[in-house]
Amino acid sequence: MLEVKNLSKSFGDYKALDDLTFSINEGQIMGLIGQNGAGKTTTFRLILDFLQADQGEILWKGHSLSAKEYNIIGYLPEERGLYPRITVQDQLIYFARLRGRSKKEIVPKIDEWMDKFQVKGKKTDKVKTLSKGNQQKIQLIATLIHEPELIILDEPFSGLDPVNVELLKDGIMELKEKGSCVIFSSHNMDNVEKICDHLIMLNNGKTVLQGEVHEIREKFGRTKVFLEAGLTKDEVAQIPDVSSVTVQDHRYLEITLENPEAGKTIFEQATAQGYIPMFNQQPPTLEEIFKMKAGEDHE
C-alpha cells in the first residue's frame, strides 16, 4: 500500500504541490490528471526520491521506502530514454539488473513480453533499428518486466496508436490482477475513465477532485442526454432547463441540461408515441469535468 500524506513542494516562490494526500492499495490503479504544470510529475519525483519534499511523508506498507525497496518500483518517465546502439535483450537485462534482478530471471521473460506487446523486431536487434512505436514498447517492457509492486507511469499512452494503447492497458491490468499498485498520469480522459479505480485532479498543485471515477461523475449530476427519437432539435431546445442541443452523426441528439430533472420531461415527450431507439441520461464525461475544473482557474 502506498500512502502519501500532506505532501508539499515549492521551487522558490512557486508552489508546485500543496498538501497532497492519497493512498493506493494493492491491486488498485490511480489516475493523476491535470493541466501541464499542475504538479503531476513533481508528485512522481517526490515518491521516487528524486526531489525532497518541503513537508509530508511517503509510506510504503506503513514505512518509508528504503534504498533496497526502490527495486520494487517500475517507473516510466514522460521523457523516454533508451540506448540506441544496444540490443533489445541487453537493454532489458541491464534495466532489470538495476532493479536487483538477475540475467537468469529476466532472459526467459523477454520473448513473453515482446509477444505480449507485439513488438515488431527481434530481441537481438539494436534499438535504433526499431520503429519509434516499437522503441516505446521496449521502454514499457523495461518498466514492467521485473513485475514491480509499485508502477509509476508518466503519460504512458503518449504517441501510441489505439491498438497499442489497448496492449498497454492489458499489460497494466495483468499486473494489477497480480496485486501491483499503479499510478499514472494522462491527458486522455477516456483511458483514465476506463481503467482507474480512483483519480485525483490537480490544479496549480492543489487537489480539486479526488475519489472513484463514477462517484466524481455522479456528483456533477446527470446533465447529459443522448436521444434518438421523433423529436426534432428545435422541439427539444424549447423544453425548460435544456441548455444546448446538438445533432450527432446525423442520427441522434446530444442534450445538455441545466437541471437533471428535465430528463424526465424529455423522456415523456419522446415516448409519447411509443418505442424509441435510444434514451440515455448520463453525468458529464471525465473530459468535460476536466475542462470545467481547469477553466475555473481562468475565471
Per-residue pLDDT of 113-157, as tens digits, reads 999 889 998 999 999 999 888 888 898 899 988 889 999 999 888
Question: Is the predicted pLDDT of residue 22 greater than 70, yes or no?
Answer: yes
Contact 4, 22 (CB under 8 A): yes
Beta-bridge mates of residue 72: none
Q: SS3 for 170?
A: helix
Q: How far apart are CA 265 and CA 246, in angstroms?
A: 18
Residues 38-62: tens digit of each pLDDT? 899 999 999 999 999 999 999 998 8
Of 168 and 12, the one with more pLDDT: 12
pLDDT > 90 fraction of the chain, expressed in percent and rounded: 60
Looking at every residue in the chain, the average pLDDT score rounds to 90
Do residues 202 and 294 lie in contact, with contact meaning Cβ atoms separated by under 8 Å?
no
Minimum mean pLDDT among 190-194, 198-202, 246-250: which range? Answer: 190-194
With a CB cutoff of 8 Å and minimum separation 6, the contacts of 100 are 68, 71, 146
At 5 the pLDDT is 95
Separation of alpha carbons 221 and 281, rounded Å = 10
Confidence of residue 267 (pLDDT cuts 50, 70, 90): very high
Residue 240: pLDDT band with limits 50, 70, 90? very high
Nearest C-alpha neighbor of 256 from the set 224, 220, 219: 224
Listed residue (175, 197, 190) closest to 29, CA to CA = 197
How many Cβ atoms sit within 10 Å of the Cβ of residue 66? 9
Stretch 172-181: mean pLDDT: 89
The whole-number average pLDDT for the span 226-235 is: 95
Handedness of CA 239, 242, 243, 247 (dihedral sign): negative
To 10 degrees, what angle do helices 162-177 and 132-144 make? 10
The tens digit of pLDDT for each residue in 64-107 reads 888 777 888 999 887 777 888 999 999 999 999 988 889 999 99
Q: Can you give the pLDDT at residue 298?
A: 46
pTM of the model as a whole: 0.82
Domains and CATH numbers, the chain: 2-217 (3.40.50.300), 222-282 (3.30.70)
| pLDDT at position 297 | 55
Burial class (CB in 10 A: 0-12, 13-18, 19+), 204: middle
Number of H helices and number of E strands within the chain? 10, 13
CA gap 279, 226 in Å, rounded: 6
Question: Which pLDDT belongs to residue 30?
Answer: 94
Given a cut of 50, whether residue 201 has pLDDT beyond it is yes
- What ranges make up the beta strands (E) of the chain? 2-11, 14-24, 29-33, 55-60, 73-76, 150-154, 181-185, 198-203, 206-211, 224-228, 242-248, 252-257, 278-282
Whether 257 has a pLDDT exceeding 90, the answer reads yes
pLDDT at 200: 93
Confidence of residue 296 (pLDDT cuts 50, 70, 90): low
